[in-house]
């Protein structure tokens, strides 16, 4: 069975391995950004900003949606009282006239941090303590799982691709190739105990090709690039190399 980790949209767009993973991970973020553009402001924010009519409309929209879900669309939305959140500006209250600017900034920052800390500690008080603990455990598990997938999943895909790539490898044994001009890419092939006589390898690429116990006689290599290509126990007789990246560790001369 052949396994391919890829996704294609016609011939112009093709995604392989980690690209599919990145696209799938980006979908929730993109969806959240799109959703935020259509999400109205909260009534609390509108009340703090003095936009009472807009806050009232948002509350009415929430009410109508809930009533339709309950099967009571005819119920009329009514408001008896709206309590506006109280705002305290520490920069004005503390040494507004005589205090220095950096002292006022320090007081404001300290006040904001104290407020954040008090709000955080309220999450661990009754009656929300149990819910906070459960949500913290779920959030930690999701974060740890996401980190594990981001590290482990690409390696798994790479391993599966390597296995699938190996199953498509072509093997040639005791082949005799004579007077052939190779000017195309050779990929994922193994040549064993073969003979190449008067062959030319010009402006081409070897990709994942292995030559084992192979004889090259009167051959010519020019403008050749290699990737994961090796010449093992090969014999070169009257063979010339020009502008070829065949490093010593890739071949041996006998």
Q: What is the pLDDT of residues 109-157, one digit of tens each?
A: 888 888 888 888 888 888 888 888 999 899 998 888 888 777 887 787 7
Query: Structure pTM?
Result: 0.46
Residue-level pLDDT at 104: 72
Per DSSP, 43 falls in state H
Asked if residue 195 has a cis previous peptide bond (ω within 30° of 0), the answer is: no
Could you write out the three-class secondary structure of 149-210?
HHHHHHHHHHHHHHHHHHHCCEEEECCEEECCEECCCEEEEEEECCEEECCEEEEEEEEEEE
**Residue numbers of the chain with a pLDDT score lower than 70:** 1-19, 82-99, 248-254
Return the closest-CA partner of residue 189 out of 226, 241, 240: 226
Long-range contacts of 81-88 (CB under 8 A, 24+ apart): 82/47, 82/52, 82/55, 82/56, 84/47, 84/48, 85/44, 85/47, 85/48, 87/48
Q: What is the pLDDT of residue 55?
A: 85
Look at residue 2 in the predicted model and tell me its pLDDT: 40
- Write the class of the CATH domain 170-250: mainly beta
The residues facing 192 across adjacent strands are 173, 212
Q: Give the pLDDT of residue 96.
A: 52
């Amino acid at each position: 069975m052949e396994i391919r980790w890829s996704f294609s949209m016609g011939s112009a767009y093709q995604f392989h391995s980690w690209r599919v993973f990145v696209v799938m991970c980006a979908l929730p973020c993109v969806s959240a950004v799109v959703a935020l553009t259509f999400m109205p402001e909260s009534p609390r924010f509108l009340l703090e900003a003095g936009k009472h009519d807009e806050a009232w409309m948002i509350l009415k929209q929430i009410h109508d949606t809930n009533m339709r879900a309950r099967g009571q669309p005819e119920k009329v939305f009514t408001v008896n009282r709206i309590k506006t959140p109280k705002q305290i500006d520490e920069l004005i209250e503390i040494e507004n006239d005589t205090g220095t600017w950096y002292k006022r900034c320090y007081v404001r920052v300290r006040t904001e941090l104290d407020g954040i800390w008090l709000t955080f500690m309220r999450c661990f008080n009754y009656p929300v303590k149990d819910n906070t603990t459960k949500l913290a455990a779920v959030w930690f598990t999701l974060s740890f799982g996401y980190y594990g997938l981001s590290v482990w999943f690409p390696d798994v895909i790479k391993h599966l691709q390597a296995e699938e790539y190996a199953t498509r490898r072509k093997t040639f044994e005791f082949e005799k190739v004579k007077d052939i001009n190779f000017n195309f890419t050779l990929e994922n092939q193994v040549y064993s105990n073969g003979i190449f006589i008067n062959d030319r390898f010009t402006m081409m690429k070897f990709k994942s090709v292995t030559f084992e116990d192979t004889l090259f006689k009167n051959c010519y290599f020019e403008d050749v690039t290699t990737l994961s290509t090796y010449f093992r126990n090969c014999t070169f007789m009257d063979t010339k190399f020009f502008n070829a990246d065949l490093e010593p560790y890739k071949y041996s001369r006998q």
